[in-house]
Chain A
């Protein structure tokens, strides 16, 4: 029973777009980064920069996708913290709205914005890729949405407990940045020391990267069922936990 979900989601989208800086930052920033990096690294492909080409064709899109997902998480955490601190959550609580509805509405907003951001990236990317490279846009979008959904649930959990908006950024940063370091995007998982490797295995980002990379390269979904399952487990665990620890004020 998610009474008010669509109404609230639509309203939150409108409210979000009314803050131009935030909206531009969240939607456009990963795209700009993507284009700038693509220019810097892959502008003039020469034989010596074969590694660079592989980064541009696989690593960069995945990095940009990951940035989109993480951007979504940290803005989810921040917005819930602001709502809690300002007493907005409390006011909503005294209505028939349920916490799941409120969180789901925000997740939907973030997913939608992520999809929009990705779309822009694809449009921009067309300029930097050889025409014959076949990019599985639909599959990649699905993979990104699944990844974002799962990583957002981690955001849910963080958002359920961060006490104030001021802590939201540092706390989500402290949790998210190490995840980026060990996710396999920069250093292959196998090359990591055992402790970090164990860490990599429990963060959703690792599975997200593996899934995104695979789908981007054109691998079959069946080869990545493990990733999808892991992301689903993370989602289930985080949602269950956050329902337990959710604080209205």
Chain B
């Protein structure tokens, strides 16, 4: 693309005593994208992210972020990035507006705290103490703190873990909003659905190593080309015609319900084409497309939820 990446990680390794948390990890994050690091618990997501943030130093390898070395230039870097940590708290009795005001006082060009809180739906909680906030409200506050300095890159580590689906969706909208403001987002998650809905590109990491990188669609196309169509029809020749399709690898029938398996992006179109050409009327038609969950299963041999 010719645009210089915002983050460039090459060959980093980090061990804690005998535990090798991250090994041979390399990837790049492009400007303006939401990049996700996905993997199960203990895969090394937080370690990788905190190395990029300058909070930990890798034993080996090189990291460049906004053209800087995160460890050597950590103080210059901090002004240009926004960070939300996986396991962070604030003082129990600090009030929402006080936290925002403190953070604002630490940076040269903060955005307006009041507006930021309103944008994140915390306008009415300005005077609430941190300990009285719900999980979702705390996460919003942490997002606010990560955005207070109008950063170029925003780091979000397991932003929605522990939230109910509704709060999760609301947070996803906020993250999309961050991208719309032209910022680059680097996030981690172990929720495949989250990665699929939010990320422009993802890196799948397991046991400290990156298995593959690409957009969710690319990864699915590359590793899970299988497509399944399920349909119901009373048409007498349906079975014969479906079996005659060269792309159909398997056709099973249960009374009037058919399951047709094939592979490739064109497969569903082929099935539709076959139905219309033979004037087969269907009363039900469903496709089952593989998703990142299936990619993960394929690549690692187990589900991300263990």
Residues of A at under 8 Å CB distance from B? 3-4, 7-8, 11-12, 14-15, 18-19, 83, 86-88, 90-91, 93-97
Number of A-B residue pairs having CB atoms within 8 Å of each other in the complex: 54
| Set of chain B residues within 8 Å of A14, measured between Cβ atoms | 98
For the complex, count residues of B whose C-beta is within 8 A of A. Answer: 23
| Set of chain B residues within 8 Å of A88, measured between Cβ atoms | 88-91
Query: Which residues of chain B from 56 to 101 have a CB within 8 Å of any chain A CB?
Result: 75, 78-79, 83, 85, 87-91, 93-94, 98, 101
Residue contact A11 to B78, C-beta cutoff 8 Å: no
Residue contact A4 to B106, C-beta cutoff 8 Å: yes
Q: Could you say which of B79, B85, B93 contacts A91, with CB atoms under 8 Å apart? A: B85
| Set of chain A residues within 8 Å of B55, measured between Cβ atoms | 90, 93-94
Query: B105: CB under 8 A from chain A?
Result: yes
A90-B85 in contact given A4-B102, A95-B78, A95-B103 (Cβ < 8 Å): yes
Query: B107: CB under 8 A from chain A?
Result: yes
Residues of B at under 8 Å CB distance from A? 53, 55, 75, 78-79, 83, 85, 87-91, 93-94, 98, 101-103, 105-107, 129, 145
Expressed in whole angstroms, the Cα–Cα distance for A86 and B145 within the complex equals 17
Q: Could you say which of A4, A18, A83, A94 contacts B53, with CB atoms under 8 Å apart? A: A94
Q: Could you say which of A7, A8, A19, A91 contacts B88, with CB atoms under 8 Å apart? A: A91
Expressed in whole angstroms, the Cα–Cα distance for A90 and B142 within the complex equals 13
Residue contact B93 to A7, C-beta cutoff 8 Å: no
Expressed in whole angstroms, the Cα–Cα distance for A87 and B86 within the complex equals 10
Closest B residue to A18 by CB, please name it: B93
Residue contact A4 to B88, C-beta cutoff 8 Å: no
Expressed in whole angstroms, the Cα–Cα distance for A93 and B91 within the complex equals 14
Q: Could you say which of A11, A12, A87, A95 contacts B89, with CB atoms under 8 Å apart? A: A87
Expressed in whole angstroms, the Cα–Cα distance for A18 and B93 within the complex equals 7
| Set of chain A residues within 8 Å of B105, measured between Cβ atoms | 3-4, 7
Q: Could you say which of B53, B78, B83, B85 contacts A87, with CB atoms under 8 Å apart? A: B85
Expressed in whole angstroms, the Cα–Cα distance for A3 and B88 within the complex equals 22
Residue contact A96 to B79, C-beta cutoff 8 Å: yes
Residue contact A91 to B98, C-beta cutoff 8 Å: no
A-B CB proximity, top 4 nearest? A91-B88, A86-B89, A18-B93, A94-B83
Quote the shortest CB–CB distance from B99 to chain A (angstroms): 9
Residue contact A15 to B106, C-beta cutoff 8 Å: no
Expressed in whole angstroms, the Cα–Cα distance for A2 and B227 within the complex equals 60
